[in-house]
Amino acid sequence: MFVLGVDPGLSRCGYCVLRTDGRRSVPVALGVLRTAPSDPTPNRLAELVGDIRQLLSEFSPQSLAIERVLFQVNVRTAMSVGQAAGVVMAEAAGRGMDVVEYSPNEVKGAVAGYGGADKEQVQKMVQLLLDLPEPPRPADAADAAAVALAHVAIAGAYTSRVAAR
């Protein structure tokens, strides 16, 4: 099974495609999609949709796990992150994929064991859980991997409970 984890953003959108059997997860694609801040927002959103379509076509993930935007100090940043998240979710839902949102605290709790973990702790845990030689960089890629890992952990726990009934 493939899971696509996304840390949404318009300038930098982190992504991680995990192949998982529920017990072991292996990253098959990990990185950041970038758009130029100097370009008009509609063009940037179109570019992001094109990049996401390419990932979805190449890997055919069953699920999209995306970090929910809860709070941003800068309203302009919050708007662009929300727009980016919206186009990514719409593209995945339009393909019939399961789309699941996780709060930052849910992601940190699932990956680091503590909802208040800092960025470095999350990066280190992603490194350990995925058996990577070093923490993923930039942080957007690590955050996307953490979202994908959280989905595997949370959805797997839910599936196990349902199957046990």
Distance (Å, rounded) from C-alpha 13 to C-alpha 102?
16
Tell me how far the alpha carbon of residue 124 is from its chain's centroid.
17
Q: Are 152 and 138 in contact (CB under 8 A)?
A: no
Question: Which is catalytic among the residues 7, 91, 106, 143?
Answer: 7
Beta bridge partners of 102: 67
143 is catalytic: no
Distance (Å, rounded) from C-alpha 25 to C-alpha 82?
28
7 is catalytic: yes
At 151, is the secondary structure helix, strand, or coil? helix
51 is catalytic: no
Distance (Å, rounded) from C-alpha 18 to C-alpha 13?
16
Residue 132 burial (C-beta neighbours within 10 Å; 0-12, 13-18, 19+): middle
Question: Which is catalytic among the residues 91, 106, 140, 143?
Answer: 140
CA 11-16-20 angle, to 5 degrees, is: 165
Question: Which is catalytic among the residues 21, 39, 51, 67?
Answer: 67
Catalytic residues: 7, 67, 140
